Each structure stands twice: as structure tokens, then as C-alpha cells.
Amino acid sequence: MFRKVLIANRGEIALRINRACQELGVSTVAIYSEADRNSLHVRQANEAFCVGPGSAAHSYLNIPNIVSTALITGADAVHPGYGFLAENARFAEICGDHGLVFIGPRPEVIALMGDKANAKRVMSQAGVPTTPGTEVLESSADAARAAEKIGYPVLLKATAGGGGKGMREVTSADQIDRAFATAQAEAEANFNDGRLYLEKLIKRPRHIEVQVLGDNFGSIVHLGERDCSIQKPSHQKLIEETPAANLPDRVRKMLHDTALRAAKTVSYTNAGTLEFLVSEKQAYFMEMNTRIQVEHPVTEMVYGIDLVKEQIRIAAGEALGYTQKDLRPGGHAIECRLNAEDTERNFAPAVGTLADVVFPGGPGIRVDTHAYSGLEIPPFYDSMLAKIVAFADTREAAIARMERALRETVIEGVATTITQCLTVLGSRAFRSGNYGIDFLPSLMHESPAA
Ligand code: MV4
């Protein structure tokens, strides 16, 4: 096992990684920006070093400063969390070049999955069903030809994308030149890579992802699925749950088997997530995330496995020590994300100082947060303040527990998504378990002031 791990992140995930390290007897080094001086991750880690000013580009993305901090403090490994450098293949490679273990998959696998068109081709060749579409497009004329063949409506997507940036829906041939130009410009601006590919638009799908873990000895297991269909128009997830409700056993098994096949195709190591679009009859591989995800706690509750500890154990060269049949999921878990944002002003991020803060507790409730009364929310980073996770024997009991927990919660000083989460939990569509990616946008249309 490692002696010391540098945590290359902030916020709740930095606390989460620190907790896993402490329980494993591993010492921790926190890094922080000038804006995060008073953060809990700085206080809870064994050591902490400032790596730059507030802007992420100069601190949490500052590779030279982060790597030197790891080397000076004598860390053996670096955990990137999610966001920031978590899916930066070059960072993973630089860590390796400096004798630091990157807690994640191999750099080549990060790079392969980071190129969405390449990832789809590799998966398709291995027999994994992928969304019908093209390889990288040469021009807008190329796109028009492909769209004619596939049939409108289609989606233009950024090869370097994910999360909906550089994505454009095109419903007819007369829109494609314009859509191609704007998607390309957006991809260029966001990823410094304007390459696009095209897919048939899947109508009203569900967004279901499957968690996998692989060790360095060729063992790979899945840890079930998470339904992540409840997303805002900005593609920010609001509520996730496992197991997915109303999913036929046949489809569930197909998703799990397909995820395993996909992970084995690239000899995947460490924690990863395969994202699928699921329609009435079909499940299509969309992309793979080569990191721990925000919503990992719901899987941990249902499988009784600490995914962050598993990441660290695997990176330290330990074998999984269990096989698929040893994994016995039980119960139901739901996560609500509490973001500091103004739902009445179209989810604009809110900044300010937290006043009264009271988090819920009691049976079956887990709170992952870096928030406390008096914390100043800087304008530089993601707006997530807390994740409330409810675990119970059944979906109905988990929903009741989550509603109870959210009513216990007080966050004053900034507007949050608490009421919005309660609206979703109380809605008929959510209770029926019959919802897809169009659910939240249509709910917001029906009850704008709920
Ligand atoms: C799609 C799709 C329909 N058909 N691809 C959105 C984010 C990016 N990762 C992929 N996204 C989508 N890709 C095809 N071929 C619909 C979406 C999509 C979506 C996906 C998951 C969750 C919420 C979503 C909201 C709008 C669109």
C-alpha cells in the first residue's frame, strides 16, 4: 500500500478521497487554491499546500505545481478525483514519468476514451452496440451526406466532447451548414479540438450507466447500473438512483454484460463508467468515463463496497480479491445533488457566504459535502454543495427517506436545488419510475414556480 497520496482536487470529492486514505492508513497531501484557504479538505488532510490563485487554470489544473508538490512531499501516488485533471491523459503520463502512481486507468486508455469517435469505433469492432453514426467528419458537406443516409433528426457531437458541449441537434438538411459551423466553433473553444462526428438522434431515451472495476491482473467486475436521466438542460445531473426503476431484467442483464465486454475490450483497470442511451428495445454505448463519478455513492450503498478505497488498492497493485458472483447488491439508493444555484433564474450559479447550514442524518442517510456555516463560495468552480444519499430496502422507502432528509436540510445564504429535488421526488413520473432524459425539462415547463 502507498505511504502517502496527493489529492489533486477540492470540494466534497477531496474529503471523500481523504476519508478513504485515512481508513487505509495512508497519509494525505491536500492541494488548494488561494480561494480555498478555508476549505475542509485543507484542514482534514495530513498536509496541505497552496498551488496557485483562484482560477482553476492556475491552481487545480496547474500540472507543474501539482507534480512538484507531490515530489517535494514524498507522495507515492496522486488521486485526481473527478473533473479538473481526472481525464487528462498527459497528466497521468507525467505522473508516471515522475515515479508517481496515477490512481486511475493507464494513460493510453484515458486518451482512447477521451476521443469519443475512436472509443465508439473500438467498441463497435468488439461487438458492443453503439449509437448509429459516423466517424470524424471532414466537412459540413460530409455531414450532410451522412445525415441523408442515416435520416434526420441527427446530432452533431464533438469528438473531444462529453457532457453536451459542442453538441447540436439537426432536424433538416437546410440547418446542417450552420449547425456544423457553430458546433465546430464551440468544440474548438472548449476543447481546442474542433473535430465533429454525427449520430442518429435517439428519441426520449433513458441515460443509464454501468460502474466497472478492473485490477492489474485482468479481473474485471461490474457494480450494476445507475439511472442518470434526471438532468438539467445544461446536462448537469440532479438525481441519480440504483437500481434503475422499471428496467426489464433482460435489459438490465444486457447492460451489465455489455459494460463488462466493453471494459474487457480495452483491458480496463481501476474504476470506470460506461454510459448508455437506452430506448424501448435497445441499449447503445455512448461513451466511457475513466474516473470516479460524482454519483458513485449510490453504488457504494447498494453493493457495500467503498469504490474510492478500491481505486487506491487497485492502483497500489492489489488484486480485486472477489469475482462477479461474490457481489450481492441489495436495497435501493437515491442521490440528490444540492447545487448553489438559482432555480428561479434559470440555474445561474450563485455565489455568497453560507449562513445557517444544517444537514440531515438518521437511518439510511449519507451526506457527502464540504459545506459549513460561514463558507464563502468562490465563483471559480462547480456549484455543487452537497450530495444527499438515501438508502433503504425498497425504492418507495428510499424516496420517503430522501423527502424526509431534504425537509431536514437547511442551507441559507445561497439559493439551492433543494426545492427542485423535492418537486421531482413528489412527481407522478418519478414515483412511477417511468422517466427518460426529457423528464426534468418537461417538469420545469409544467411547474415553473414549484
Ligand atoms: C444523445 C441523445 C440522443 N441521441 N445521442 C447529452 C450529453 C452527451 N453526453 C450526450 N447527450 C445525448 N446524446 C443520441 N444519439 C441525447 C443526449 C441527451 C442527454 C443524454 C443523457 C442525459 C441527458 C440528456 C439530455 C439531452 C440530450
C-alpha cell at 1: 500500500
Identify whether residues 300 and 399 lie together within a single domain: yes
In the annotation, is 106 catalytic? Answer: no
C-alpha cell at 106: 493507464
Mean pLDDT for the stretch of residues 379-390? 95
Domain harbouring 89, CATH code: 3.40.50.20
Kindly report the number of other CB atoms within 10 A of residue 217's CB atom: 11
Q: Give 121-153 pLDDT, tens digit per residue.
A: 999 999 999 999 999 999 999 999 999 999 999
209 Cβ partners below 8 Å, 6+ apart?
A: 225, 226, 228, 273, 274, 275, 276, 289, 293
Identify whether residues 196 and 216 lie together within a single domain: no
Identify whether residues 301 and 341 lie together within a single domain: yes
Query: Which range in 177-186, 345-354, 438-447 is most confidently predicted, on average pLDDT?
Result: 177-186
Q: Residue 254: inside a domain, yes or no?
A: yes
Identify whether residues 228 and 357 lie together within a single domain: yes
Predicted local confidence at residue 444, as pLDDT: 78
User: What total number of domains does the chain contain?
Assistant: 3
Q: Residue 119: inside a domain, yes or no?
A: no
Domain hosting 163: range is 132-200
Q: Residue 126: inside a domain, yes or no?
A: no
The Å distance, Cα 187 to ligand 1 centre, comes to: 16
The Å distance, Cα 289 to ligand 1 centre, comes to: 15
User: Can you spell out the DSSP letters for 50-91?
Assistant: EEE-SSGGGTTT-HHHHHHHHHHHT-SEEE--SSTTTT-HHH
Predicted local confidence at residue 449, as pLDDT: 40
Chain-centre distance of CA 40, in angstroms?
Answer: 22
Amino acid occupying residue 233: P
312 Cβ partners below 8 Å, 6+ apart?
A: 1, 2, 5, 20, 21, 24, 26, 77, 79, 103
> Of all atoms in ligand 1, which is nearest to the CA of residue 275?
9
Q: Which of 200, 226, 241 is the last residue of a domain?
A: 200
Identify whether residues 188 and 246 lie together within a single domain: no
Identify whether residues 188 and 223 lie together within a single domain: no
- Residue 356: DSSP 8-state: S
Q: Residue 127: inside a domain, yes or no?
A: no
Angle (CA) 337 340 341, round 5° = 105
Q: Which of 152, 168, 200 is the last residue of a domain?
A: 200
Identify whether residues 270 and 402 lie together within a single domain: yes
Identify whether residues 300 and 400 lie together within a single domain: yes
Average pLDDT, the chain: 95
Domain harbouring 162, CATH code: 3.30.1490.20
Predicted local confidence at residue 344, as pLDDT: 63
The Å distance, Cα 225 to ligand 1 centre, comes to: 17
Predicted local confidence at residue 352, as pLDDT: 87
Q: Residue 217: inside a domain, yes or no?
A: yes
Would you say residue 234 has pLDDT above 90? no
Identify whether residues 141 and 266 lie together within a single domain: no
Mean pLDDT for the stretch of residues 277-299? 95
Would you say residue 100 has pLDDT above 50? yes
CA distance 48 to 52: 13
Q: Residue 112: inside a domain, yes or no?
A: no
CA distance 89 to 107: 5
CA distance 39 to 421: 26
- Single out the catalytic residue among 16, 291, 313, 366: 291
Q: Give 428-450 pLDDT, tens digit per residue.
A: 999 999 999 999 988 877 644 43
CA distance 404 to 432: 19
Q: Which of 170, 200, 230 is the last residue of a domain?
A: 200
Identify whether residues 238 and 384 lie together within a single domain: yes
**DSSP 3-state assignment of 223?**
strand
E strand spans, 109-171: 154-158, 168-170
Element (H, E) at 376: strand 376-377
**DSSP 3-state assignment of 225?**
strand
| Cβ(119) – ligand 1 distance below 6 Å | no
Half-sphere exposure of 18 (CA within 13 A, CB side): 24
CA distance 424 to 227: 14
Would you say residue 268 has pLDDT above 60? yes
The Å distance, Cα 164 to ligand 1 centre, comes to: 7
Q: Residue 118: inside a domain, yes or no?
A: no
Would you say residue 369 has pLDDT above 90? yes
Identify whether residues 343 and 227 lie together within a single domain: yes
Identify whether residues 211 and 343 lie together within a single domain: yes
Ligand 1, atom 10, residue with closest C-alpha: 164
Kindly report the number of other CB atoms within 10 A of residue 72's CB atom: 10
Ligand 1, atom 26, residue with closest C-alpha: 437
Q: Residue 235: inside a domain, yes or no?
A: yes
- Choose which residue among 167, 208, 289 to substitute to test ligand 1 binding: the one with the highest number of ligand atoms within 8 A of its C-beta: 167
Domain harbouring 331, CATH code: 3.30.470.20
